[in-house]
């Protein structure tokens, strides 16, 4: 079986690593991939957004199964395009991908199906949005409706900040088309968790609940990033809470999309705030999280390619799916300056010196003058897997200690809150 993975980050490295464990897989190709992915896959220079080129490649090379990493091609309709030509692809169709592609769609969908989420309004006009702020206290959350690479959510402490956020996106086109529609919503207090479910639209299997660390600095301070580390399972999600998340959020979401005639196939990511009123949806993503994939895939015992095939063949209901016991922790090593300006092409040493139990997933790396070198803001996701969270974190940090590149930094407090219990 030949498998194509689309994307080039740590999530895609974790996917290739997991897919490589399937003995029936004879070749993995990754478009465009990175230096770490080369351990498991052949990399081809096709952009993750170039749907036509990806489709031609899959047809010409007889790829049996395509797995999509990032959201942009899903939101642009890559699954529908592949399906037109009977090419097998794992991911949601364009309609269902709106859950991530349009926050206005997602919020209206949740309202329609009574899925718990923050109170909200959707606005197309700046003046109306400004007037609408009257209904909210501060802090208030302002969101660009479309895809904004994780930068489109602004938590505003005052009317002045909210005005400037709205003006920036709705008048000054700060997020281009993504910000012409704005969502204003109530600020929710609580702890965040991510629950990812593999699903055929009817049946689902939840991966270990995980927690990301979005801020750059220790103590959840500093600017937002793509994610500085993650761990799973998150002890916050006890069995009772897991049942509530499935009954109050996951099932009504899958039922709603089925009712609308577009069942969700793929990995559905629920970004949740656990409030004093119970779990509420902050966001949906329609693909694996990054860095969450780097901790949930190592804890998935069942073969991932077998799951994807069962989902696409309609046999998922009968499939036995299992998770490993134990925990996984991922510490991201980033380039100095990230998430703002940073330098690339810094040679990386020590990648082979990490202890047993550590897997180094590459996020932004490339071969450069005979070395593996940095090639992005997030460079590596050093992941430890062990019997418990403390040991997994210790392993990940032992791995980080061995690895060096100029200007690198990482957060020293990944998973700390969960350890305090």
CB 7 within 8 A of CB 48: yes
339 binds ligand GLY (CB under 6 A): no
| Residue among 408, 246, 198, 415 at smallest CA distance from 327 | 415
Q: Report in angstroms how near the CB of residue 40 gets to ligand GLY at its nearest.
A: 21
Q: Note the residue count of the chain.
A: 421
Residue 101 or 227 with smaller CB distance to ligand GLY: 227
Q: 187 touches which of ligand GLY, ligand AMP, none (CB within 5 to 8 A by kind)?
A: ligand AMP
Q: Which residue is nearest to ligand GLY (CB)?
A: 289
Q: Report in angstroms how near the CB of residue 291 gets to ligand GLY at its nearest.
A: 6
CB 143 within 8 A of CB 136: no
Give, for 51, the enclosing helix (H) or strand (E): helix 51-60
Q: 195 touches which of ligand GLY, ligand AMP, none (CB within 5 to 8 A by kind)?
A: none
Return the number of other C-beta atoms located less than 10 Å from residue 106's C-beta: 24
Residue 7 or 227 with smaller CB distance to ligand GLY: 227
DSSP three-state, residue 275: strand
- Count residues near ligand AMP (CB under 6 A): 12
Q: How far apart are CA 254 and CA 402, in angstroms?
A: 44
203 binds ligand AMP (CB under 6 A): no
DSSP three-state, residue 127: helix
Residue with tokens 């940073």: 342
Contact region with ligand AMP (CB under 6 A), list: 4-12, 182-190, 303-311, 368-376: 182-190
Q: 290 touches which of ligand AMP, ligand GLY, none (CB within 5 to 8 A by kind)?
A: ligand GLY
227 binds ligand GLY (CB under 6 A): yes
> Which residues, in sequence order, are CB contacts of 374 under 8 Å at separation 6+?
335, 343, 344, 345, 346, 348, 364, 365, 405, 408
Given 198, 282, 358, 418, the residue binding ligand AMP (CB under 6 A): 282
CA distances from 389 to 303, 362, 386, 396, 398 (A): 23, 22, 7, 10, 14
Q: How far apart are CA 4 and CA 65, in angstroms?
A: 6
Report the site for ligand AMP in 102-131 (rule: CB under 6 A): 118
Report the site for ligand AMP in 153-172 (rule: CB under 6 A): 153
Q: Which residues bind ligand AMP (CB under 6 A)?
A: 118, 141, 143, 153, 185, 187-188, 192, 214, 271, 282-283
Q: Which residues bind ligand GLY (CB under 6 A)?
A: 212, 227, 285, 289-290, 292
């Amino acid at each position: 079986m030949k498998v194509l993975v689309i994307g080039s980050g740590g999530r895609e490295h974790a996917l290739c690593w997991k897919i490589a464990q399937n003995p029936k897989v004879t070749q993995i190709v990754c478009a465009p991939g990175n230096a770490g992915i080369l351990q498991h896959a052949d990399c081809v220079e096709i952009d993750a957004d170039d749907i036509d080129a990806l489709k031609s490649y899959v047809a010409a090379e007889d790829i049996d199964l395509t797995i999509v990493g990032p959201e942009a091609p899903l939101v642009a309709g890559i699954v529908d395009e592949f399906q037109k030509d009977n090419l097998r692809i794992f991911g949601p169709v364009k309609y269902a991908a709106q859950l991530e592609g349009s926050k206005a769609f997602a919020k209206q969908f949740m309202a329609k199906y009574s899925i718990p989420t923050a109170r909200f309004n959707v606005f197309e006009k700046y003046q109306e949005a400004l007037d609408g702020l009257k209904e909210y206290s501060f802090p208030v959350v302002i969101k660009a409706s479309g895809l904004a690479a994780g930068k489109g959510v602004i938590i505003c402490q005052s009317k002045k900040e909210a005005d400037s956020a709205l003006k920036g996106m709705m008048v000054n086109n700060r997020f281009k088309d993504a910000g012409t529609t704005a969502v204003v919503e109530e600020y929710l207090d609580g702890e965040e968790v991510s629950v990812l479910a593999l699903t055929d639209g009817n049946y689902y299997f939840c991966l270990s609940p995980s927690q990301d660390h979005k801020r750059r600095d220790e103590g959840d301070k500093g600017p937002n990033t793509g994610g500085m580390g993650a761990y799973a399972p998150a002890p916050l999600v006890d069995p009772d809470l897991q049942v509530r998340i499935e009954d109050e959020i996951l099932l009504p979401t899958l039922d709603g999309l089925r009712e609308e005639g577009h069942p969700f196939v793929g990995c559905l990511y629920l970004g949740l705030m656990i409030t004093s009123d119970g779990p509420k949806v902050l966001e949906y993503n329609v693909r694996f999280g990054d860095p969450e994939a780097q901790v949930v895939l190592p804890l998935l015992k069942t073969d991932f390619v077998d799951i994807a095939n069962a989902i696409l063949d309609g046999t998922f209901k009968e499939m036995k799916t299992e998770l490993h016991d134990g925990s996984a922790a991922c510490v991201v090593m980033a380039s100095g300056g990230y998430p703002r300006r940073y330098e690339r092409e810094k040679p990386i040493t020590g990648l082979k010196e990490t202890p047993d139990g550590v897997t180094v997933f590459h996020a932004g790396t490339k071969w450069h003058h005979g070395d593996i070198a940095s090639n992005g803001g997030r460079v590596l996701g050093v992941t430890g897997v062990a019997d418990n969270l403390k040991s997994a974190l210790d392993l990940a940090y032992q791995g980080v200690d061995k690895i060096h590149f100029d200007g690198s930094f990482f957060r020293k407090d990944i998973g700390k809150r969960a350890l305090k219990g």
